[in-house]
Chain A
Amino acid sequence: MAQLSYRDAVSLGIAQEMRRDPNLVMLGEDIAGAGGVFKTTVGLLDEFGPKRIRDTPISEQAILGAAMGAAMTGIPVIAEIMFSDFLAVCFDIVANEMAKSRYMTGGQVTVPVVIRTANGAGSRFGAQHSQSVENWCMMIPGLKVVAPSNPADVIGLMAAAVRDPDPVVFFEHKSLFATKGEVPSGEIVDELGKATTVRTGSDCTIAALALMVPRALQAADRLAEDGISAEVIDLRSLVPLDTRAILGSVVKTGHLFTVEENPRLCGWGAEVASIVAEEAFWDLDGPVVRITTPHIPLPSAEALEDLALPSVERIYETVRTTMD
C-alpha cells in the first residue's frame, strides 16, 4: 500500500491501461507537453510518445468525433474534455452518436471510448467551469457514467472503463485532485456498477458520489457522536447503478439520504429516491431526503459557492434533524 494523490492516480490509471493495451491512445487539449491543465496526464507523453498521447486544438466536437471514429475501427481511445461543462459543446457526439450507434445499427458498431473530464465545484471558477453534469449523461441510454471518490477507485474504475467496450464518461472531481488515499500495489481492476459501503451503520443510509463521499463520511463521524449510526455508500457509478446495494442498506436502516452536488432538479438522487419508493417503500421509516445544490447556476465567490454545495455541516444537520 502506498499513499497516492487522486491526481497522480489518474495518470497511473491511464498508464496501467496503456501498458496493457498497446493500441490504446489518448487525445485532448493540453494533455501531452503540458501534462494536462490539472496535471493529471503528467509523464504519459514521456512514456508513451506523441503518437499515443496527442494534443488537439480547442475543438471538442473534433476530439470526441475522432475518438469515436477511431474506436469503431479498432483503436480504443481515452479522450479528455478539459472541464465537464465543455461536454455541452460536443454533446451531439456524446448523446446522439456514441450512445446510439450500437442500438440503431443493430449491434454492428461498438464504441470503446472513455471520455475523461474534470467535474464539480469548489475551485471558485464560476458557473461555466464548476458544474456537476453527471446527470446530463446519466439520462442518455447507451452511456455509462463513472465518478470515483478516491485514488484507488480512480485506478480501478479507469481500468474497468477502458476495458468496457461501451462508451463511458469518467468524471474526475476537481476538488479531489489534491486529496490522498491508500492504493494497493500491482494492477487494480474494478467492476462498473458496484457501489462500496465505505462506512457501515444501522440507523440510516447516506448514498453519495465523488466529492460528496468524504463529506458524507465526515458528517457520519459527527452523527456517531450524537449516537446516530449512519451507513455511507459510495455509488461510484451511476450507470450501471448498484440499486441492490442501496436497497439492501435501506432495508437494514429504514432511512435514506442522498447527497449530490448537482442542481436539485432531476438530480440522480431523485432517481434513487424513486427506486427506493417503488421497491422498498414498506422498509422505510421516513421519507427519503435529498441533500443537493440548489437549482441555481454556481456562484464564484468563495462564501457563496460554499453555501451552494452540500457541506459536512449541512449533511450532518439534515440527517440529525430528520432522525430526531
Chain B
Amino acid sequence: MYELQQSLRQFEKRAYDLFMENLVKGTSHLSLGMEAVATGFGRAMHSDDYTFATYRGHAHTIARGAPLGPVMAELLGRENGILKGKGGSMHLTSVEHGMMGSYAIIGAHLCIANGAAWSAQMRGTDQVAVAFFGDGTTNIGAFHEALNFAVIWDLPVVFVCENNLYMEYTPIDLVSAVPNPAADRAAAYGLDRIIVDGNDADAVYEVATSVFDRARRGAGPSLVEAVTYRHGGHSRADPGKYRPAEEVEAWLERDPIPMYHQRLLELGVSESELSAIQQSVAERVEEATEFAKQGAVPAADQLFVDVWSDGGASWRN
C-alpha cells in the first residue's frame, strides 16, 4: 500500500509538472493528498471487481493496475494513450483492469455502477461495483436515485464518498443540509452510517474489506464516507486560495503518505527499504513520462473512428 500511494503521488506530481511545461492541455483534477482512499479500496478489490470514478480519477485508475505509461500518454493527448487520445484526463478507463470509466458529469456513474452490480448479480458472480465520488455529488438527484435503487434491488455495489470538504471551490457545509453529506443521509436508505479516516490507508482498507464482504454475501450495498483533503485546488485553473491557511496547514500535517511512512518505520520496516520503494516508483514514473512524450499525436483519421461499434462514424448512407 505504501508503494501504491507513492505511485499515485509521484504520478500526479509529474502530471502537474507537465502542465507547467504546457505538455498537458485542457484541464485536470488531481487527488494529491487523497491517495489513501484509492489505495485502501483498490487493494481490497478483487481483480474482476468494477471501479467507477469521477473526473478526478487518475488515482482510481492506477490503483486498478492500469499501466502508468499509457495513462500519462493520455494526459498528453497521444496516440499511445490509454484512450488513444480521445478521452483525456477526465475519462480514464481500462476495461481490462476493471476500471469501467471516469465520468465527468456529477452523479451519473453511481447509477451506472448499479447496472454493473446488477449484471454481476444476474450472472451469479461475486463481483462488486465500486463508485467513487466527491462530497458535491451528494446534492444531485442521481445520488439519491442510485442509493434507493441499489437498496431495493440488493445490489453488490459500494458507494464511496471522498469528502475532501470542498464542492469544487465552495465549502461543502455551506451547500449541504447535514454535516456529513454522505453518511448522514445513509439512514434515509436504510444503510449504516459509515465514516472512515480517508487519510489512513489501513483504516480505509479495513472498511473496504468489510463492505465488500457484505456485498459478496448478497447483503446489499453500502455507503462509505471517507473524510480527506485535497492538497491543491479543484482543477488546473484553481490555486485553492479560498481555503484558510491554517486549515491547509493542519491537513498537510496529516498527509497520508508521511503518516503511512512513519507507521511502517514503527512496525520495523527500514528507512532504506522505504526509500528503495520511492526510488523504484520514481523510475517508473520517469519511464511513463518518456513513453508518453515519445507517443505520436493521433492521426487525423482517428477523428472518425469509434463513434459506433463497427468502428466508424457514419450516420447516413
Contacts and interface: CB of A to CB of B under 8 A. Distances in A.
Interface string B113-149: 1111111101100000100000000000110011011
Contact of B308 (A66, A72, A105, A166): A166
A106 B149 contact: no
A68 B152 contact: no
Main secondary structure of the interface of B (DSSP, over half): mixed
Contacts of B112: 65-66, 68-69, 72, 93, 97
Contact of B83 (A59, A74, A105): A105
Given A61-B145, A106-B82, A110-B309, A239 B315 contact: yes
Nearest to A58: B145
B9 interface: no
A107 B305 contact: yes
A218 interface: no
A279 B114 CA distance: 46
* Chain B: number of interface residues, binned into ranges: 35 or more
Contacts of B85: 106
Contacts of A102: 306-309
B77 interface: no
Contacts of B314: 240
Interface string B80-93: 01111111000101
A103 interface: yes
Interface in A73-88: 73-75, 77
B103 interface: yes
B111 interface: yes
Nearest to B144: A59
B317 A75 contact: no
Contacts of B116: 69-70, 72-73
B244 interface: no
A240 B122 CA distance: 32
Nearest to A60: B145
A66 B105 CA distance: 16
A65 B17 CA distance: 36
Nearest to A75: B119
Interface stretch (A11-19, A197-205, A241-249): A241-249
A249 B315 CA distance: 20
A61 B311 CA distance: 28
Contact of A70 (B93, B118, B146): B118
A318 interface: no
Interface of A: 25, 51, 54, 56-57, 59, 61-62, 64-75, 77, 92-93, 96-97, 101-110, 141-142, 164-166, 193, 239-244, 275
Query: What 5 A-B pairs have minimum CB-CB distances, sorted nearest first?
Result: A69-B115, A65-B111, A106-B84, A165-B309, A62-B149
